[in-house]
Structure 1
Amino acid sequence: MSMLRLGIDVGGTNTDAVLIDGQRVVAATKSSTTSDVTSGIVAAIADLKAASGFDPAQVSAVMIGTTHFINALVEGTRLTQTAAIRFGLPATSALPPLVDWPERLRTAIGGHSYLCHGGHEYDGTEISAFDEQELRDVVDKALEAGARSFAISSVFSPVNAEFELRAAEIIAEVSPGAPISLSHDIGRMGLLGRENATVINAALRDLADNVTTGLSQSVLAAGISAPVFLSQNDGTLMDVDYARRYPVATFASGPTNSMRGAAFLSQQLDCAVIDVGGTTTDVGILQSGFPREASADVAVADVQTNFRMPDVLSVGIGGGSIVDGDAGAPRVGPQSVGYRLTEKALVFGGDTLTATDLAVAAGIADVGDPSLVAHLDPGLVRSALASIGERMGEIVDRMRISADPVPVVAVGGGSILVPDELISASSVMRPENYAVANAIGAAIAEVGGEVDRVFSVSPGQRDAVLDEARQEAVDRATAAGARPGSVRVVDIEEVPLAYLPGNATRIRVKAVGELSLGGDHHA
């Protein structure tokens, strides 16, 4: 039986779809993203069918990367009224939940913030006892105020999750069926960042229900009965049920998929990736085939969180970037015509000079009608393209961590703008199928598992503790749907916490493995 995988990436401008058989790209297509997104996916699958004549029954898995959830948060729309409940009193009262949220987002989710007694120290001892009556009163108050989704956080819950689990049982009893998000399942150490991530997740739960149902139905409508997976921030997969519970895990899947696709197409495991879209250029670094993660906390829509996010620098240069100024000092971007490129750009009969027009005039791209840009001053074209190349080289330079030049892989529809020689690059490569690298990254994604908590490491016990953490990460990857035996550890980080007694060490381990496509994982 052939093992076809269908990868779909829903971007702001285009929806890309690819069909992969093992290591071979069978067919690829780009279609415009639609406002309801699902009809764009149906159209992309129909285009693929027309291009390759594949049999829907032969597709063994569908992988989708989507920007639905991050866009909903950035726009502050389609969010659910959420109660943020924290266990930490008498500590933490100076900074209550939602304290650092922008006003418009706090209003969008109802601003329901509550503090209860409880929480733990880093070593698992209680700050104060769990007060069941106090929690029941808070839940009643929240329901009365209109909250429909619950975000529960407790101090140091990644070390001891007892209070969050007890709270979830009580809420399920008081308000059956209400979505509940627990912080120890979502974020890492660090209370505010973890709590914020949990509140965002809770606020997206209703939308996640609609989106995941819509995605599953559009795949079924195309005659494909294979299980559907969504890509996560760190380049691994989650099944539809997991995505329904943790929509927040999809936030950075766009740039991550492009980087994973670049690694697959170029066969480079350690390199810089330049992904040029219609509006922005994203630059990231691949280490062992996976995106390097950001070391600092990441703000999403001005809310501080502590997700696993790729370390990506974005700059406003893309195929649709608007060019102004003269040959002496042309300016490219950050304004862009975006998805209206095919009506606005000169080569398509429009009235706006864009980066795509420069590429056509210079003879490095062949789209639209080249005669419409024949009048452009060759000096302007040259200096504008040179300034684009210079800025891209600068970003690669900022991202690399050693003095040695790095190989660069250019992907994305606008990557024709990346010059063949860049400062700080040892080589520039534009692999075949570069325009749909993001959908390919979704199609080849693997399943991951991560552990991030504080262990007490007694003298002479370091190896045993690391082995325990490794095994836990491998078990989590297998539980998430990885094929046992294919799981490998790709990242280990240990940070001794000198300010805590008892040889406390924070250990983070990430493991990934191939997707198990046996009968057991059919949704």
Structure 2
Amino acid sequence: MEVDCATIRIGVDVGVAVDLSLKGNAAHRGVLAHQKTTTTPDATTGITDAVKHVIESASISPSRVATVTIGTTHFMNAVIERDARRLRPVAIIRVSKSFLREIPPFAEWPADLARLIRGYVGYVDGGIHIDGREEASVIEEQVVQEATKIKELGLNTIVVAGVFSPIDQDFKQEDRIRDILLNEIPGADVVCSHTVANVGFMERENASILNAAILKYARKTVKAFHLAMRQLYLTCPIFITQNDGTGLSASSAAKTPIRTFCSGATNSMRGAAYLSGKNLDGLQSIVIDVGGTTTDVGVLLSSNVPRQAFAYVEIVPGVRVNYSLPHLHSIGLGGGCIVRHVDGKVTVGPDSVGKELEREALVFGGTTITATDIAVAAGMANIGDSSKVSHLDHFLVEEARKSMKKMFETAMDVMKLSPDPLPVLLVGGGAIIAPESLQGAASLTRPIFYDVANAVGAAISQISGCVDILQDTRTQSVQQAISHAKRLAIEKAKESGASENSIHITEVETMPVSYIEKRIRIIARAVGDVDTRVSFPQFQFEEDQDDDDIDDEPERFSQRLDDPILKSEEVNPLTYSPKVVYQNDRLEWVVSVTDVAYLADGCYVLGCAGGGSPAAVKIQLTRMLREGYIMRIIDPSALGTDDIIYSGGGLGSPAVGVERLQSTENVSAMKALMAYLGHDNFQAVMPIEIGGGNGLEPLLLGSSRFFNVPVVDGDWMGRAYPTAWQTTLAAHESHRLVPCAIDSGDGSTIIMTASSSDKLVDSILRAACVEMGSAVGAATRPTNKADVTKYAVLNTFSLAWRIGRSIARCNFSNTISSVAESIIEEAGGPGVAKILFRGKIIQVENELSQGHSYGVVHIKSFDHIEDEDQSSRPLMAAVAHGGLLKLPFKNEIITAEHEADDGEVKIIASVPDLIAVLDNGSGKALGVPEFRYGYRVTVIGITCSPRWVDTERAVEIGGPKAFGFANEYQPLGTYVQPKSVIEEYRPKKFAEE
């Protein structure tokens, strides 16, 4: 089709027409017409009316329209509203011969949403290792059998999700399974997970399931968009805005509607930059999008593309996904927020009259004082009837205005990476409540047509291409790997319809893969203008697709809807008591689902940013408990003199765990070592390290499902360390790791019988681990009560539980700002633990020192301490104030190096003391995978066990010099042994004895 003269682009959120050939006109920036419409229940009425209005009001010839780009919330709303008419039940086929069985799909989903969507779950052989090798080959007969079961259930929407499928370049297992399924179930919708999201199995699978559930409705909706536009004589390409602020062809959106779920905020950001008319190239800028109820704050990069959130996000509570989303901070402040004056205190929001503003606000004749009324009364805005707010008390107006100004400034500060002032763009219908100046803003601009920036952003949207790949750097340099990723991103953008000459790279992020040499993960994003000069076949929607009307009452499937993982357990952490009973001639702590939750959060704090996330093993243990299995913890004093005590945990890269999920390779490793040593049984189990996911592993091993033995309240580190030889046992006696065993979980086991040093054992096992898939279960030489008493760090399960409970209590009582103080009290008080620093993560990088490679997280001090929940508890003073804190880490944090504002540098804490980073928003620990710019954090330090400092050898193994750092270890405080949960909660008749 001929579109050479087509320069007008129509964006639909409220409806706007933009002529890009006139964008240089400062008076209107090419905006020819705009029309506000309310959201309609059906997908097209409001959109059709908006487009029709702007065409007619600007007398636009259909031949001059280059594109129509639509921003829609209908797909997202179907999920949020649990709309059974728009969501389809989905069959899931997981692809792995040996993994994925322990943690089922929908493990953390809200029960009502899971019941709507979960149709069937099956497993077939396959899977890929992190280095690209096959775990197992796909067996066609297995796929055919699963297809038969799915057909019998009447399902025709299927998700195929395989381990490490996004890096499957050679075998294309998901694609092969899809082809087999389509041959068996013609016309089925089959979604391959690698086409939806990137590495991170549960999050990718969640995204794929949501995508599949909405597919039929998306097709119907996109088809309706096309028909509506044709009724207006528009034959131009149609795009749907996606989450990164760029456009997705309508036919592509019909295949991956999940990419459009959260596009509203990014449209506003892109529209803000365009409407401002300023040359912001080379500068980042803050965009504040003010609505009726909430305000979204985001950052535009120097390329005018919204900064993306690379960490996992929740699309709805409990459903984490890992596809591209904008990095936003939202606050409960909008034009409709209700203003109250109670007991001399003025508050603004977060409750709002929302869409009823024009009926409820004073300036419109209503009876509710809103933020809009305050703006008018303060002379900040001219809207409605100002005489209706002239009676408002001056104190009320001024305090409300100050409160709103402070809320805007705090939200801005959350998103900034440095204290340097940045340009700020104000958009959205509620932007009139923003003040004329904001601290931290280099300039403050409310551009023309600010209230329709969302639609303008849709109209001018570009086309993007993104790749997220793992590359081998043994045969190429890191720079060559980055260049390859850039080329792939550019090619993707071109294939999606971007004009080749306009494509440019907007973002590149590189991340080393922990414990795996010469492997690097690279994320690259390319963006370009829509190529309107030619017709692209992929833009044309296929009208002959089978899109029958969606059933009013779709059939639901009864399989596994009573899944115990879906049941919720509400517990008051202020009154909860763990169950300690006298049985087996001793006191035993019988672990509950609540205990596992507390232990998981506490173990992650003790992991010092390493140890691996406990999230997956927490789900596994929770499921087992709800299925009736028993887990027990005993005090070390309850051990018998001749008891045999095994220790186990995971060894390898955490990057593997995010794909394989939790499995039972630790059980297999322990069975192998028992067979070698001739042990038919043993009497107790202990973790090698209490920190991170490994801290919870003994509960799996000791459960009644497997070895049915108690777990000892203690471990061999008192924290997490990156290597197996950094234990208190090895620190005091040599050759304590062998004999030992490792198991891959998919059929390979190695037993090591002897070695000249424990350090060599770790090196050899890690080399074998790489060949076995880069993650294995491990079991080390058994110990006895004498070893535990003499060398172990005791009561560490008790400490982890108390830390987790303190986090839960602070969340429950809305005192998150003082969670660090609460954790310090549980650790023994200020003499044992301290707050080291409060600030915001501004950078994460990699460095090399004395041959040791490690990462560094940089944290910039807050300008002032904010107690956002207005807790009555005073905040504890930090060891260091102002300046910058650098935390070098090799999975676990090594030192805390403070650089004062005057340039003075000082080590304020170091290993073997524990250094942990807490997220100020949740109170929970952040691990290395979660270190991202913008997080507001509190860094705490906890004094290590004397086991790490009572000999020169111990300090040598666990101190800073073991990591290549020259500083001498200086203790943070004086160690106090954690209080035993078993002793505190023992039955009364035993407590009295």
In structure 2, C-alpha distance between the alignment counterparts of 1:226 and 1:363, rounded to whole Å: 45
Q: Which residues of 2 match residues 119-518 of structure 1 at below 5 A?
A: 119-160=127-168, 162-266=172-276, 267=278, 268-269=280-281, 270-288=284-302, 289-302=304-317, 303-326=319-342, 328-458=344-474, 461-501=477-517, 503-518=518-533
Contact 1:455 1:506 in 2 (8 A): yes
Contact 1:389 1:417 in 2 (8 A): no
Contact 2:15 2:51 in 1 (8 A): no
Q: Which residues of 2 match residues 91-106 of structure 1 at below 5 A?
A: 91-106=99-114
In structure 1, C-alpha distance between the alignment counterparts of 2:343 and 2:499, rounded to whole Å: 57
Gaps of 5+ in 1: 10-14
The alpha carbon displacement at 1:274 in A equals 0.3
In structure 2, C-alpha distance between the alignment counterparts of 1:97 and 1:500, rounded to whole Å: 28
Relative to structure 2, which stretch is displaced further, 408-417 or 463-472? 463-472
- TM-score normalized by structure 2? 0.51
The alpha carbon displacement at 1:468 in A equals 2.0
Deviations 1:310-364 (A, max 9, x none): 1101111111112222493222222122222222222222222221222222232
- SS of equivalent residue, structure 1 residue 261: helix
Q: Is 1:49 the counterpart of 2:55 in the alignment?
A: yes
One-letter amino acid of the counterpart of residue 70, structure 1: M
Cα-Cα RMSD: 1.7
Contact 1:330 1:383 in 2 (8 A): yes
Deviations 1:457-481 (A, max 9, x none): 1265333332222211111111000
Q: Is 1:3 the counterpart of 2:11 in the alignment?
A: no
In structure 1, C-alpha distance between the alignment counterparts of 2:177 and 2:205, rounded to whole Å: 15
In structure 2, C-alpha distance between the alignment counterparts of 1:117 and 1:291, rounded to whole Å: 40
- SS of equivalent residue, structure 1 residue 398: helix
In structure 2, C-alpha distance between the alignment counterparts of 1:16 and 1:28, rounded to whole Å: 5
Contact 1:80 1:148 in 2 (8 A): no
The alpha carbon displacement at 1:59 in A equals 0.7
In structure 1, C-alpha distance between the alignment counterparts of 2:81 and 2:331, rounded to whole Å: 20
The alpha carbon displacement at 1:295 in A equals 2.8
In structure 1, C-alpha distance between the alignment counterparts of 2:344 and 2:437, rounded to whole Å: 22
The alpha carbon displacement at 1:65 in A equals 1.0
- SS of equivalent residue, structure 1 residue 291: coil
**Percentage of pairs with the same residue:** 38
One-letter amino acid of the counterpart of residue 178, structure 1: A
Contact 2:9 2:67 in 1 (8 A): yes
Indicate which of 66, 87, 103 corresponds to 1:60.
66
Relative to structure 2, which stretch is displaced further, 460-469 or 153-162? 460-469
Contact 1:279 1:319 in 2 (8 A): yes
The alpha carbon displacement at 1:453 in A equals 1.0
One-letter amino acid of the counterpart of residue 8, structure 1: V
Contact 1:332 1:384 in 2 (8 A): yes
- SS of equivalent residue, structure 2 residue 91: strand
In structure 1, C-alpha distance between the alignment counterparts of 2:36 and 2:347, rounded to whole Å: 29
- SS of equivalent residue, structure 1 residue 409: strand
Contact 1:327 1:383 in 2 (8 A): no
- SS of equivalent residue, structure 2 residue 535: helix
Deviations 1:233-263 (A, max 9, x none): 1111111100000000002210001111111
- SS of equivalent residue, structure 1 residue 404: coil
One-letter amino acid of the counterpart of residue 290, structure 1: V
One-letter amino acid of the counterpart of residue 215, structure 2: R
In structure 1, C-alpha distance between the alignment counterparts of 2:20 and 2:525, rounded to whole Å: 27
- SS of equivalent residue, structure 1 residue 485: helix
The alpha carbon displacement at 1:294 in A equals 1.0
In structure 1, C-alpha distance between the alignment counterparts of 2:515 and 2:475, rounded to whole Å: 17
Deviations 1:105-133 (A, max 9, x none): 11011342222221110112122221222
The alpha carbon displacement at 1:54 in A equals 1.8
- SS of equivalent residue, structure 1 residue 32: coil
In structure 2, C-alpha distance between the alignment counterparts of 1:65 and 1:327, rounded to whole Å: 44
Contact 2:337 2:352 in 1 (8 A): yes
The alpha carbon displacement at 1:308 in A equals 0.6
- SS of equivalent residue, structure 2 residue 326: coil
Contact 2:463 2:493 in 1 (8 A): yes
In structure 1, C-alpha distance between the alignment counterparts of 2:287 and 2:422, rounded to whole Å: 10
Deviations 1:257-304 (A, max 9, x none): 111111112233411110001111000011121111113101111201
Contact 1:394 1:423 in 2 (8 A): no
One-letter amino acid of the counterpart of residue 28, structure 1: H
Indicate which of 63, 85, 88 corresponds to 1:80.
88
1:34 is matched with 40
- The alpha-carbon distance between structure 1 residues 102 and 83, as it changes in their structure 2 partners (threshold 3 A), is same
In structure 2, C-alpha distance between the alignment counterparts of 1:271 and 1:29, rounded to whole Å: 28
The alpha carbon displacement at 1:222 in A equals 2.3
Contact 2:128 2:164 in 1 (8 A): yes
2:712 is matched with none
- SS of equivalent residue, structure 2 residue 96: strand
In structure 1, C-alpha distance between the alignment counterparts of 2:340 and 2:15, rounded to whole Å: 30
Contact 2:128 2:163 in 1 (8 A): yes
| Higher RCO (C-alpha under 8 Å, 6+ residues apart) | 1
In structure 2, C-alpha distance between the alignment counterparts of 1:20 and 1:182, rounded to whole Å: 39
2:17 is matched with 18
One-letter amino acid of the counterpart of residue 361, structure 1: A
The alpha carbon displacement at 1:66 in A equals 1.1
Relative to structure 2, which stretch is displaced further, 362-371 or 311-320? 362-371
Deviations 1:168-187 (A, max 9, x none): 10111111111111111111
- TM-score normalized by structure 1? 0.95
- SS of equivalent residue, structure 1 residue 158: helix
Contact 1:88 1:116 in 2 (8 A): yes
Relative to structure 2, which stretch is displaced further, 334-343 or 410-419? 334-343
- SS of equivalent residue, structure 1 residue 31: coil
The alpha carbon displacement at 1:151 in A equals 0.9
Contact 2:8 2:17 in 1 (8 A): no
In structure 1, C-alpha distance between the alignment counterparts of 2:534 and 2:494, rounded to whole Å: 15
In structure 2, C-alpha distance between the alignment counterparts of 1:377 and 1:146, rounded to whole Å: 66
The alpha carbon displacement at 1:2 in A equals 4.5
In structure 2, C-alpha distance between the alignment counterparts of 1:133 and 1:325, rounded to whole Å: 70
Deviations 1:139-169 (A, max 9, x none): 2222322423111110001111621011110
Gaps of 5+ in 2: 24-29, 541-993
